[in-house]
Chains A and B, each alone.
Chain A
Amino acid sequence: MDLHDIVRILSYFIKGSGHNISLSPDEFNRVLDLASIRLFRDKLGIGEVDSQLDLEEYYGVDHYNDNSLRRFKVDYKNVNGTGLPVTDGYADLPDDYFFPDTLFYRYVKDGVAKKKRVRILTSQRWNHLMSRDLLRPTLKDPACRLVGDRIEFYPTNMSFIDFTYLRRPAAPVYGVDYTGGYPKYSSGGSTQLEWGDEDIVSIIFMVLRDLGVSAQKQDVAVYADKLKTQDR
């Protein structure tokens, strides 16, 4: 289902409900991106974090078995050729970073390459551990926390980290050609949603709800199927 299909479905439900709503391409991009991000957050369950616990206990790879999220998983090393560089205990988060997955610290001991998982802590947990000498993280049990657009590590002498994370879903762009004086859809200039059809139906449903149009999700799915069949 591409963006043009989404517009056709939205138009069907909006006009059918009698609402006099119009959307420019920019407005459409915004409402769609918001819904896409909201779906992403819903799937992650963001908002239910217990600040007393380690984030990874909630959001480690094993905790998002929804296959639809795996497409957003990025291995930093695969993209950049090296691990995430750490300087003086800090590393910059990648631009497309959205949520952490796992961090490993690699080292060589007695000629053998080893790696230790770096725990991701809430700031509350971090402060608690750092305030006690005996509890402070060590190279055998390193830890980190997210601060702004950086990651803070302890111990601070780690240099490269194997980092996997979830990137932000690409913001949709409804490509247009203004040759006729109006925004005519151009698939070539578009950035499609990175979701499967089932999730796109959920996104359309969210957009309709945001616009104040009442519709049943099931009806949206049925109409989307109908369009797909028509276009074959």
Chain B
Amino acid sequence: MTLQQIIDAALLRLNKDEAGNPFSPESMTGVFRNASLDVYGSMVKQVMSISAQNNMPPEQIISRYFNELTRFMFRIDGSVIGGDVTIPSTSDRILSVFSRGLEADIDLVDPNTFDKRRTDILSPDPEGNPFATEIGGTLRVIPNNMSGGVLITSLKVPEEPYYDYCLDSGLNAVYMPVGSKLVDSGGQLNLVDSSDVLIRSNVTHLTGSDGYVSNSIELDWDESAHPMFVDYLLSDGAVNLREEFPYGDANKQS
């Protein structure tokens, strides 16, 4: 679904309920950005919570209950230099770390536990049970002289959507799909798609003129997740939903 299709689906339900506030086009980019981040943040929070409660790796929770997040997972080959591994800025949440040299999973702990454990002789031998903590953009590992590097599995934040639009002669907002552009035709601007098929004639854009290409960015989510955003928009439009958010309770999906 494009951003406009999601809006239309939400409007359809708004009209059905005859309630809620209309969406202004200038607010849509912010609304979609918030929606994307909220849905992502909510899912990640639940993944980490279920993982901690059940002592299961977060990746396992994602593949079992939050498949929508798999597209945001990526792997990093990191080098250990002086016990530190630089984490790419694209990484939002580290899910797991594996030591290639020790051929063992690295236990991710909070900084307090890390400091306590690194001096604790009662803890399992770090040679067989390596551990690490994230401090700033760095992953600090023990043993700090491990060779072979580490493999980090991480989540990145979804790309931010952008709703670009123009106005037709009746001052109605017209969504500019990805790849669409404005072309001058006999002194008036027309909106055409990437194949130059006319979408709407005689439009105006806040900043764009002839040759302007849409800056729209679609949601960085699988289609299967899009219904969540329809519900999100409804909620944002002050509509009381009769059904719960599908992402509201992961345990119900099991």
Residues of A participating in the B interface, judged by any CB pair closer than 8 Å:
7, 10-11, 14-15, 21-25, 28, 174, 176, 179-185
Given A180-B126, A180-B127, A181-B83, A22 and B142 touching (CB < 8 A)?
no
User: Which residues of B are found within 8 Å of A15, using beta-carbon distances?
Assistant: 122
B13 in the interface (beta carbon within 8 A)? no
Which residue of B121, B122, B144 is within 8 Å of A180 (Cβ)? B144
B122 pairs with A11, CB closer than 8 A: yes
Q: Which of B111-119, B153-161, B219-227, B231-239 contacts A (4 or more CB under 8 A)?
A: B111-119
**Given the interface contacts A22-B116, A22-B117, does A181 sit within 8 Å of B144 by beta carbon?**
yes
B118 touches A181 (CB 8 A): yes
Are A23 and B83 in contact, with the CB atoms below 8 A?
Answer: no
CA distance A167 to B23 in the complex (A): 88
Q: Is the CB of A182 within 8 A of B122?
A: no
Type the 1/0 row for B145-157, where 1 means its CB is closer than 8 Å to any CB of A.
Answer: 1100000000000
Contacts of B143 in A (CB 8 A): 180-182
B 50-91 binary contact with A (CB < 8 Å = 1; else 0): 000000000000000000000000000000000100000000
Q: Flag B102-126 by CB within 8 Å of A: 1 or 0 each.
A: 0000000000000011111111011
A184 to B119, CA, bound (A): 10
CB closest chain-A residue, reference B140:
A181
Q: Tell me the complex Cα distance, A180–B118, Å.
A: 10
Q: Is the CB of B126 within 8 A of A14?
A: no
Q: Which residues of chain B are near A7, meaning CB under 8 Å?
A: 121-122
* Chain B residues positioned under 8 Å from A28 (CB to CB): 121
| Contact status A185-B126, CB under 8 Å | no
Question: Can you add 17 more A-B contacts, CB < 8 Å, to A181-B142, A182-B143?
Answer: A7-B121, A7-B122, A10-B122, A15-B122, A23-B120, A24-B120, A24-B121, A25-B121, A174-B121, A180-B126, A180-B127, A180-B144, A181-B118, A182-B118, A182-B126, A183-B119, A184-B125
B 160-175 contacts with A by CB, 8 A: none
Complex Cα distance, B127 from A25, in Å, reads: 18
Cα A181 to Cα B118 in complex, Å, equals: 7
What is the CB-to-nearest-CB distance from B114 to chain A, in angstroms, rounded to a whole number? Answer: 10
B119 touches A24 (CB 8 A): yes
Closest to B126 in A: A182
Q: Using Cβ atoms and an 8 Å threshold, which residues of chain B touch A176?
A: 121
In the complex, which residue of chain B has the Cβ closest to the Cβ of A3?
B121
Can you list 14 residue pairs at the A/B interface with Cβ under 8 Å?
A22-B119, A22-B120, A22-B122, A23-B120, A23-B121, A23-B122, A24-B119, A24-B120, A174-B121, A180-B126, A180-B143, A180-B146, A182-B118, A183-B121
Residues in chain B within 8 A of chain A (CB atoms): 83, 116-123, 125-127, 142-146
**In the complex, what residues of B have CB within 8 A of residue A22's CB?**
116-117, 119-120, 122-123
Cβ–Cβ < 8 Å partners of B118 in chain A = 181-182
Complex: A180 Cα to B123 Cα, angstroms = 15
Assembly CA distance A180 to B145 (angstroms): 5
Nearest residue, chain B, Cβ from A26: B119
Known: A180-B127, A181-B83. A21 touches B122 (CB 8 A): yes
Within the assembled complex, what's the spacing in Å between the Cα atoms of A172 and B156?
A: 50
Cross-chain contact A14 with B122 (CB below 8 angstroms)? yes
| Chain B residue at minimum C-beta to C-beta distance from A10 | B122
The 6 closest A-B pairs by CB, nearest first: A180-B143, A181-B144, A22-B120, A11-B122, A24-B119, A182-B118
What separation, in Å, do the CA atoms of A179 and B118 have in the docked complex?
A: 12
A7 nearest CB neighbor, chain B only? B121
B125 nearest in chain A by CB position: A184
Contact of A179 among B117, B125, B145 (CB under 8 A): B145
Question: Which of A14, A24, A25, A179 neighbours the largest number of chain B CB atoms within 10 Å of its CB?
Answer: A24
CB-CB under 8 A from A174, the residues of chain B are 121
| A174 to B122 CA separation, bound complex (whole angstroms) | 12
Residues of A within 8 A of B125 (CB): 184
Contacts of A10 in B (CB 8 A): 122
Distance between Cα atoms of A182 and B130 in the complex (Å): 11
Min CB gap A173→B, angstroms: 13
Q: Which residues in A have their C-beta under 8 angstroms from that of B123?
A: 11, 22
User: Once bound together, how far apart are the Cα atoms of A15 and B121, in whole Å?
Assistant: 12
**Could you tell me the distance between the alpha carbons of A218 and B82 in the complex, rounded to whole angstroms?**
45
Q: How far is the CA of A17 from the CA of B56 in the complex (A)?
A: 23
